[in-house]
Structure 1
Amino acid sequence: MRILLTALVLLSTPVLAQPPPASAPTTERFIRQLVETRYFNSGRPTATSFTPDEQTLFFLRTREGSRTVVLHAFDTTTGQTREYLTAESLNAEARALQEPVRAAPRGLSSYALSEDGEKLLVGMSGKQYVVARASGKVTELKLGAGAMDVRFSPDATQVAYVRGHDVYRLDLATNTERAVTKGGTEDKSHGTPEFIATAEMMRFSGYWWSPDGKSLAYTESDTSGVEKLVVPDALNPEREGQRLAYPRAGKPNAQVRLGIIPVTGGKTTWVQWDAGKYPYLATVRWPAKGPLTVLVQNRAQTEELLLAVDPRTGSTRTLLVEKDDAWLTLHQTFPHWLADGSGFLWYTERNGASELELRDATGKLVRSLVPPDAGFYDLVGYVEQDGTVYFSGGTASEERYVWRLSPGGKPTRVTAERPALEQAKLSKRGGFLALSSEGPRRMKNTTVLKADGTRVGELPSLAKVPTLQPRIEVRHVGKERYPTSLVRPRDAKPGVKLPVIVDIYGGPGMAMVYQSMMQHLTDQWLADQGFIVVKLDGRGVSPTADAKLRKPKYDWPRQILDEQVAALRALAAEVPEMDLSRVGITGASNGGYMSALAVLTRPDVFKAAVAVSSVTDWRDYDSHLTERFFGLPDEQPQAYEQASLLTHVKAGKPMGKLLVVHGTADDNVLFFQALKLSDALFRAGQPHELLPLSGMGHMVFDPVLAERLWEETARYFHAHL
C-alpha cells in the first residue's frame, strides 16, 4: 500500500507506461476552470419564477466578470431583461466587488416571491429582506443570527424560520419575532428535517404554514437513540470533530412526529398514525384548499399511506395505499393538490412504470393523465381549466423533453429541437413556459415560450464557453440495445487502438448516458490524455423497462456490473479502436463503489480503478437508501455480505490495480470506509494506493484539489493501462 498525501503528489519517480502523445491537444488548467465556473454555469440564469399575472419572469444571474449575484426581471410582453434588485439597492453599504474567481458568490443568495406576487423575500450576506414591489420599500428583517429556512406565510404578512432547534415567526408589520415552539435541543429538534430526510428523501424542510397563516405544522426529530458518529478534523486535532446522528443500516433511526401549533405558541396537537409500522414521514403538504396531507412509509419502503389530517384533533384518514415488491419511489412533487381542493395529482408505478394520475379529494382514482408508456419523469404544470398536463420525460433514457398532453390526446413535444435534455416551469395560469435545454454540442440556455410553443425570448447568459468541446458519440449497442456514449481523444487516429476508461455511477435505475455537453466535459479532458472514455447503461435505466430491471434488489451490484461488461463488449464490437485488454474504470460515490467492486471481482475485464468517495461495507451507510436496495441486514445478511468490498478482498486472489480516494471530512460516506478497505487490502497483501483529501467532503469543490485529482487519475491510468 502507498498513501498519497494531498499536500503534494508523493510519486517521487512516476513511471508513465504510456505517456500522452506529444501532439495531444492542450487544455491547460481546464479542470481548475471547470470547478471555478461551476462547470461553466456561472453567469447562466437560475431560480426562475413567474409572477401570478404572468407579466414578469424573475431569475438570478451573476454580473459580467463578477461573482456578484443579481435579481433580474424578464418582461414577457417585450422580451426585454433588466436588473431588478441588487446588493446596493438592499443595503447602501453593500458594494458589488470584483472578486477573485475562486471566491464564493456575492450579492443576493436567494429570493422568494409571495403568493400574490407583491413582495419579495431576499437573502443576502446572512440577512433577510422584504421588498415591496409596488413601492420599492426595503425592510431588513430582525431575525437574529442563525435563522434558517425563512419563508413567507401564505398572505405574506409573516415569515417563519428555524433558529436554535426551534421554530419562530416574525410579524412583518411590526418586525418583531415570537417563538412558536419551545424546548428544542440538538437531540430533539423542532422544524428541521432529520439526516435521512435531506440526504435520501429529498425533504428539505421541517415546518409548513397553514393556509390561513394561523398555524404551523412542524416535525419533532428525536435523535437521542440514533448512533452518534464523529467526523474528525484530521489536520487540526485540537478541534472538536463534527458529531453526526448517523443512522447506519439496520440501526435505530430518528423518531419523527408531526405536530400542529398556533403561530402564537401554545399546545401542540400531534398527528396520529401507526408510526411503529410506518416510521418514515416522507412528505407533508398543506394546500390552500384540501386537507393537511402526509405520506408515511414502512421501513422497508415497500408500503406507504397517504393520509389526510384533521388539524383540530390530529386524527387521520387514509386517502390511498401504495405497495411495491421492490421499493416505492419517492417523488416530492406529489401529492399535487388542485387549487379548488377537489382532488390531487399522484405519481405511481403501480402499473409497471411511471404514471401520473388524477384522484378526487377522497383519494379515488378519476383517470390516468400520463400513461406508463409515455416515460413520465416530472410534472412541469397542470392547467386546471382544461386539464392539460405539461411534463418532462420520454422513452429514451439519454434524452428528456417537455411534452403537452390534452385530455383524450397523445403527448406532443413543446419544441422540435433534438437531441436534448429539457426541463421547464409553467406559469400559474398556464400561459408561459420557461424552458431550459442543453444538448451534446451546447450548454444550457433558457427560453421563454407561450404555452403553445411560440418563442417570446431568451434569458441572456453571461457564462463562459467551455474551452474544450466534447465530441460525443451516443450509440445503442448489442442485441439488448444498451445506451452508451463514447469520447475519443481529439487527435485520435482511425484504427489506432487505445486504452479504455469506463466512467460509472451504476446505482439502480440511474442513467449515465445523456445527450449533454456538460456531462462529458471531464470525459473529453481525460480522453485527450490518451484514452477512449465511455459511459455504459444497462437496460434498467429505460423509463419504460420492466420493473425487475428498473428495480434490482439484494444482488444489484453484481447485476449492474454484469451489464456494464456486456455493454462494454458490445460497444467494442462496433468500435475497433477500443483495446479491451487495457480497461480502467472510475467513478465517485456509488461510482466509486462500483469501480472498486469491478477490479476486485472482474479483474479479467477491469485492470485498474480510481474509486472516489466509495462505500466499502453497506452496513456502514445510511439506513434509508441502503435498506431500500438491500433490505434489513438481519433479514438479508447474504445480500450485505456479497455486496461488501471486504468480502472480495482475499490474499493471493487476482485483482486489478486500485487507487482509493476519499475526503477526510466526508459526512455522507465517512472516511473510515476508505480506511477499512485499505486495512483489509494491506492485511491481505494486496498492493493498492490511498489518497486522502484533507478537509474535503463527499465532493471536491476546491479547484486546485480537483485539478490535482484529475491529473493523478490520468497518471494512474497511464501507469497501469
Structure 2
Amino acid sequence: MRYLLAALVLLSTSAGAQPKSPPPSAPAEDSFLRQYSETQGFRFGRPGLTAITPDEKTVLFLRAQPPSNAQTLFAFDVATGETRELLTPQALLKGVEETLSPEEKARRERMRLMASGFTSFALSPDGTQLRLGLSGRLYVVERASGKVTELKSGPGAIDPQFSPDGRQVAYVRDNDVYRLDLASQTESRVTRGGTPEKTHGLAEFLAQEEMGRFSGFWWSPDSKLIAYAESDTSQVEQFSIVDVMHPEAGARRFPYPRAGKANAKVRLGLTPATGGKTTWVDWDANKYPYLATVVWPEKGPLTLLVQNRLQTEEQLLAVDAKTGRTRVLLTEKVKDDAWLDLHPPFPEWLPDGSGFLWVTERNGGPELELHNADGALARSLVKPEAGFRAFVRYLATEDTLYFAGGPNPTERYLWRVTKGGAPTRVTSGGPALEGARVSEKGGVLVLYTEGPTRMRHAYVLKSDGSRVGELPSVAKEPPFVPRLEVRQVGKERFWAAIVRPRDFKPGAKLPVIVDVYGGAIATTVHQSMAYTLMWQWMADQGFLVVSFDGRGTPLRGNAWMHAAKYQLGLVTVEDQVAALKALAEEVPEVDLQRVGITGWSNGGYISALAVMTRPDVFKAAVAGALVADWRDYDTHVSERLLGLPDEHPEAYERTSLLTYAKKDAPMGRLLIVHGTADDNVYFFHALKLSDALFRAGKPHELLPLSGFTHMVGDPAVNQRLQERLMRHFKDSLGSVPGTASR
C-alpha cells in the first residue's frame, strides 16, 4: 500500500497537482534505503548461477528482473556475444503462484537462497538437455528444439540429479530416493522405508548448515547404482517453532543437535538404481560419526571424507562398491589443540583416476596438493602463502590449475598454476574480488568481478584472457559510490575498513559504529562496493562506520584463526577494542567516547558480548539473531570451538552471554533483534538473554521479527529494521548536527 501511494503522488505531481504533505508524525521515506531493500542491495538483476556447455559454445545463466526476485534462464552465445531468454517461471507456472514444501524451504534456508523462480539448473553430461525445478516440479528442456517436458515425478521432488548417462533423473520425495526414466517417463522407487525420522537421500541439518554438503545421494559413473545417506534423527532432541501470529496452526518440530547431545546417526548405503538390496558401507562410525563429503568420480572409487566429533581428526576412505568395505587413503590430524576445517568439494579426482587433489592445513594454512590414487602425496601445487580460497578447475591434459585467492585477505583474484610453476594472475588491475567458472576443456571462462567502486559484473573470456563479451545485467545501479578506505592498524596489523560521510569535514569528531561478524568462517573487510553500500548510508547520518578482522577469522593462517579455541568471542572483543584504539591514533576523527557495535548471527553474539563486557568502550549495540549460550547451539560449531560441554564447562560458561547478564556490572544500551521462526539460531536465545537481563534489572530492548527465519528477505521489514538500528545509535551516541541521510 505504501508503494502504491507513492506512485499516485508521483503521478499527480507530473500532472501539475500539488501533493499533500505527509502528517508530521510520518517518517521521511528514504529512497536509497527503500531501493536497497527492494533490490537486495542492488544485486537482483545481475547474472547469477552459470554453466558452460561442453562444446563451449554457450554460457547459460540465471537472472532476475528487478524488482522481482524470480530468476529466468538465459543463454549467451560465445561466438556472437548475443544473449537470449530461454525460459521463464511464468511460462511454466501459467499464472499459478509458486509453492514450496517445508523441506524445500528449509533446504533453501540452509543454502541462503533469497531468489525465487529458477534457483538452480543442471546440464546433462552431453549438454543436450537441461534440468530445472520449479514449485516442487521437475522439467527437462531439450536445448536444440527448446521443447519443455514436465517430468511425472509428482510434487515435492528435492535435489534432482541427472544420471551420468543422461537417461534418468533421480530425486528425493517423501523421504525416499526415486528414479525416473526420461524416455518412458516411468518412475520407480529406489529406496524404501524412509520416514521423517529416518530419511533416505537427504543431507541432514548439520551437513547442510555447517559442512557444505547439500546432497544425500550420488549416482555411480555407470548409472547402475546409487549411494544414499540414511539419516536417523530419532534420538536427536526436537525443537518446536510456532507461528506466533497464527497460534491456531500449531507447532512444527525439527531435530536439532545441541552441543553435547545426540547427533543424527548417518550411514551410507549402496543400492541398484532399479531398487533392491542395500549394501551398507563399513567404516568406524563410532570414531568418525560425521559424513562430511561423498564423491563418486568417473574414474576412481566412491570416496568418503569422515570426521570425528571434535573435528580434530578425519579420514579419506575409498569404498569397494561390491562389498561396502573401505580402505584409508589418508588421515589428517590437528597438530595443536584446534580443529580441522572442511574444504568441499575435495577430494577432486583426476579424469583418468590416477590421483586426486586435496586441501590440507597441516603446514599452517590451506595448501593444495596432488595425491596418487593410493593416497600418497605426489606434490604440492599451491603453498599456504599463496592464499588458496576456492578451487575453480584442474585441466589434467595441460597440468593447469585455476583457483581463486591471494595473499591479501581483503582481495581475491583468479590464479593459474601451470606444470607445477608459481601461481600467476589471470587478470590484471584491482583491487577486486574475483571468482570464476572454467569450462571442462579450458577454452572458455566466466569471470565474476567487483571492487570498491563497482558492482559485480560477469565477463566471458577465452583462455588467453581476451574478452568475448559480458553477461548482461538489468540491475538498478546504486546512486553513489561508498567512500571506503582499507588499511591495517596496530602492531597486530588488523585489517580495517573505514567509511566516512560523503560530506565529511576533516577534524570533526564522529561517533563510531563497528560492524562485526568475528566468526571462524568469514571476514568483514572487503574491497567491495556491494558490501559497503549500507555502511555508507549509515555514515552519511553522521557516523564513522568501521569493521575489523581480528584473531579468530580466516585467511591469516591457522595460528591466527585458532586463537578462538575455548575463547570464542572473548578474543574477538579484545581485538575489536585494540583495533579501535589503534585506529583512533591514526584517524583523529574517531570519537572513542561514542562507540556502538552491531552484527548478525555470530556478529550479534559479539555485539551483545562487547556491550556487556566492555561498556567502557561500547556504549550501545544492536545484536541480531544472536547465540545467547553455546550450549544451545549446534554440535558441529560449538564443539569445534569449545570442546564438549562436559569436558570443558568453563569454556561454555565464560563465553555465554547469560554469564555476564547475571553479573552486577554496568552495561551499554542493547537492542536485541531476532526472527521468531529462526531454525538455525532459535528465537529462545533472544528470550533467554532478555529474561536474564530483566531479572538482573538491566534495561534493554527486544525487537522480535514475527515469522522470520535467520534471513530477513522482506524488503519492507529490512527497511524498517535498518531505520530502527540507526535510531538506536542516534539516541545512544548522537550524530553530527546537520548531517542527514541521502
TM-score range, shorter chain: over 0.9
Matched, 1:687 2:699: yes
Match of 1:57 among 39, 56, 59: 59
Q: CA-to-partner distance for each residue in 1:620-653, whole Å, 9 max, x for gaps? A: 0000111111111011111000000111123531
Shift of 1:700: 1.4
Equivalent pair of 2:137/2:156 in contact (CA under 8 Å)? no
Give the match for residue 209 of structure 2: 199
Determine the C-alpha separation between the residues in 1 that align with 2:261 and 2:116: 42
* Partner secondary structure for residue 334 of structure 1: coil
Does structure 1 residue 515 correspond to structure 2 residue 527?
A: yes
- Residues 87 and 645 of structure 1: is their aligned pair in 2 closer, same or farther, counting only changes over 3 Å? closer
**How do 1:584-595 and structure 2 match up within 5 A?**
584-595=596-607
Q: Which of 353, 356, 380 is the equivalent residue of 1:368?
A: 380
Alignment check: 8 A CA contact 1:110 1:124 kept: no
Measured against aligned partners, the alpha-carbon deviations of 1:538-559 in whole angstroms (never above 9, x if no partner) come to 1554634352545530013211
Aligned to 1:176: 186
Give the superposition deviation at 1:110.
Answer: 3.1
Once the two structures are superposed, the pairs formed by residues 370-385 of structure 1 within 5 Å of their partners are 370-385=382-397
Partner of 2:670 in structure 1? 658
Q: Aligned residue for 2:228? A: 218
1:630 corresponds in structure 2 to 642
1:563 match: 575
Pairing 1:204-283 to 2, within 5 Å after superposition: 204-283=214-293
The answer to which structure, 1 or 2, has the higher relative contact order (CA under 8 A, 6+ apart) is: 1
Select which of 400, 422, 430 maps to 1:410: 422
Describe the shift of the 1:534–1:62 C-alpha distance in structure 2 as closer, same or farther (beyond 3 A): same
1:26-175 equivalences under 5 Å are: 28-63=30-65, 69-87=71-89, 93=94, 108-175=118-185
Q: 1:579 to 1:433 in 2, by over 3 A?
A: same
* Structure 2 residue 544 is matched with structure 1 residue 528: no
* 1:72 shift after superposition: 1.5
AA of the residue aligned to 1:381: R
2-side partners of 1:598 and 1:290: how far apart?
50
Distance 1:179 1:663 in 2: 38
Moved more, 515-524 or 462-471: 462-471
Partner of 1:3: none
Within 5 Å, which residues of 2 pair with 1:234-633? 234-324=244-334, 325=336, 326-508=338-520, 510-539=522-551, 541=553, 543-550=555-562, 552-633=564-645
CA positional deviation for 1:509: 5.5
Note the C-alpha offset of 1:89.
6.4
Shift in alpha-carbon separation, 1:79–1:213, aligned structure 2, 3 A: same
Cα distance in 2 for partners of 1:472, 1:644 equals: 34
Shift of 1:262: 0.6
1:7 alignment partner in structure 2:
none
8 Å Cα contact 2:44-2:65 kept in structure 1: no
RMSD: 1.8
State how far apart, in whole Å, the 2-side matches of 1:105 and 1:542 are: 28
2:656 aligned partner, one-letter code: S
Partner amino acid, structure 2, of 1:223: T
Once residues 203 and 600 of structure 1 are traced to their aligned partners in structure 2, the CA distance between those partners, rounded to angstroms, is 36
User: Which letter does structure 1 place at the counterpart of 2:190?
Assistant: V
- Distance apart, 1:82 and its partner CA: 2.0
List gaps (5 residues or longer) in structure 1. 1-25, 98-103
SS where residue 156 of structure 1 aligns? coil
Tell me how far apart the structure 1 counterparts of residues 92 and 666 of structure 2 sit (CA, whole Å): 64
Structure 2: how far apart are the matches of 1:295 and 1:359?
A: 15
Partners of 1:635 and 1:59 lie apart in 2 by: 49
**TM superposition shift of 1:65:** 6.8
Displacement of 1:67 in angstroms is: 5.0
Contact 1:31 1:703 in 2 (8 A): no
Q: Which moved more, 1:118-127 or 1:323-332?
A: 118-127
Say if 2:623 and 2:671, in contact at 8 Å, map to a contact too.
yes
Contact 2:39/2:67, CA 8 A, preserved across alignment: no
What SS is found at the alignment partner of 2:511? strand
TM-fit CA distance, 1:612:
0.6
How far, CA to CA, are the matches of 1:234 and 1:663 in structure 2?
11
Distance 1:57 1:520, change over 3 A: same
Aligned-residue offset at 1:587: 0.4
Q: Deviations over 1:135-156 (max 9, x none)?
A: 3332210011111111111111
How far apart in 1 are the matches of 2:392 and 2:81?
22
Letter in 2 for 1:607: K
Show the counterpart of 1:5: none
User: Partners in 1 of 2:563 and 2:343 — Cα distance?
Assistant: 16
Do 2:620 and 2:669's aligned partners in 1 also have CA atoms closer than 8 Å?
Answer: yes
With structure 1 as the length reference, what TM-score do the two structures score?
0.93
CA distance, structure 2, for counterparts of residue 454 and residue 471 of structure 1: 32
Corresponding residue pairs, total: 689
Residues 262 and 615 of structure 1, relative CA distance in 2, 3 Å threshold: same
Displacement after TM superposition at 1:409 (Å) = 1.9
Instruction: Report if the CA contact (8 A) 1:395-1:542 is conserved.
Output: no
Change (3 A) 1:711 1:66: closer
Q: Distance in 1 between matches of 2:176 and 2:436?
A: 35
Q: What is the rounded CA distance, in whole Å, between the counterparts of 2:68 and 2:242 in structure 1?
A: 35
CA distance in 2, matches of 1:105, 1:545: 34
